[in-house]
Amino acid sequence: MRSSFFPAYGLWHCGEGFQTILIMWYMAFHARLSPAEIGFYQALQLIPFLLLTALGGSLTDRIGARTSFAASTGLFALCLALYGLSDPAFGFHGPLFALYCLLSGVLSALANPAIDTFIPEATPAPATRNALIAATVHNVAKLAGNAATLLLPVLSALGGFLANGALMAASAALLLRHPGAARPAPPPRGSVAPDPSAPRRLAAHFRAHPQSFDILLSSAVLGLFMIPAFYVFQPLMLRTWYPGSESLIGLTGVVGWIGAIAASAVAVRLSHRIHRPGALALWIWAGMAALFAALPLMPGFGAYLAALVVLGMNGLGKALVYGAYLREAPARDRGLLIGIDQTAFWGLATLGTMGLGLLVQAAGLVPALLANALAMLGCLAILALRGRLAGVVPG
């Protein structure tokens, strides 16, 4: 039943949105960790994306997206519940929290490629439009997950982790009702030409589709600079510039997802008028990097929240080009190619998050913020000069 995909997709991203703020709140305010410690634990949770996401995509191609997603997400729900139950008994315990971060990262790295495999055929519309619809569902779900964390002062760590686990379990159960993504038939026995290995097939794919390769490069840029900026700067800016506002950390996520929902909804409505989505994506990412650099100039908390609304629109850039990447991916290697893209996006965020935490510790919040923004602008300029992203068209 096609209609069961987007509800399951939404529940999963609601759980992801809840966890993002839950972990920030847990580290910055419940455990009162230092910037370097925050960067370390965030990076530890992202390390599996660097090492295992492509493997998760390959596993999806072999056993089917539904089985891969339901198993990994069900175990993720169990992991969340068990850590939540441990907190009242042990409080913050570094090695135990490190184990939780690593396990949850492994299971999320396996689930991510599987859920995205359904997007191209989620509706009869073209893959690029389906990607924008998925982005809107993703953003609404993230908003709901972030908004729910406003209850963290009441739920406490125990209630927060248990609620997060319930969202993941519901997503896995719902997706089991959805048919598994179709897997291509194996090549007939005795075929004349031997089946090329996966690395050779991937190399041939990127040679034949150079725009897909530059979309992959753009994911690497976002993973190195944009994702770490949100993970490291957002809790530290709130703690440093607006002390006493720890209960509002959920609000900072909520306003960002409001901006994301508005941007993706408008993009879906006007998708027939967007003739150069790649060029638009480059401009969006450059604007977000510049706005990050301007955050120290915000005159007060209200202006800071308004800036976060605009920063929430950054995800539209990836949605504009991700459909083209999925469209060009052959069905046989779709999960693997999604895994490679997510390795670039989330895996490299591992290195960026750890490095940015150390940079803030050594140089201070504002110098680190400016250095990160300038590095991202430089990489975007190189991608623009290559010209391939600007040539991405709808379809």
pLDDT tens, position by position, for the chain (395 residues)? 345 788 999 999 999 989 988 998 899 888 888 878 887 898 888 788 777 888 888 888 888 888 899 999 999 999 999 999 998 888 888 899 999 999 998 998 888 888 888 888 777 777 778 888 888 898 889 888 878 888 888 888 999 999 999 999 999 998 888 665 545 444 444 444 445 677 888 889 999 999 999 999 999 999 999 988 888 888 888 888 887 666 677 777 778 878 888 888 888 888 788 889 999 999 999 999 999 999 988 888 888 889 999 998 888 899 899 888 988 888 788 888 988 998 888 778 878 888 898 899 889 999 999 999 999 999 999 999 999 998 887 76
Domain boundaries, the chain: 2-180+202-391
pLDDT of residue 191: 43
The CATH code that applies to domain 2-180+202-391 is 1.20.1250.20
Instruction: Count CB-CB contacts under 10 A for residue 25.
Output: 22
Q: Which pLDDT score is estimated for 36?
A: 80
Count other Cβ atoms within 10 Å, centred on residue 300.
10
The one-letter amino acid code at 294 reads A
**Whole-angstrom Cα distance, residue 20 to residue 231?**
8
Output the pTM of the full model: 0.74
Residue 1's pLDDT is: 39
Distance CA 205, CA 210 (A): 8
Task: Compute the distance between CA of residue 347 and CA of residue 57 in angstroms, rounded to an integer.
Answer: 14
CA-CA distance, 37 to 28, in Å (whole number)?
10
Neighbouring residues of 328: CB distance < 8 A, sequence distance ≥ 6: 205, 209, 211, 212
Sequence-distant (≥ 6) Cβ neighbours of residue 3 within 8 angstroms: none
pLDDT at 294: 92
Q: What is the pLDDT of residue 113?
A: 87
Q: Output the pLDDT for position 279.
A: 93
pLDDT at 245: 67
Q: Are 225 and 289 in contact (CB under 8 A)?
A: yes
pLDDT given at position 334: 86
| Ramachandran assignment for 156, one of left (phi > 0), alpha (psi -120 to 50 degrees), beta (any other) | left
Radius of gyration for the alpha carbons in the chain, expressed in angstroms and rounded: 20
- pLDDT at position 193, please? 43
Q: How far is CA 160 from the centre of its chain?
A: 20
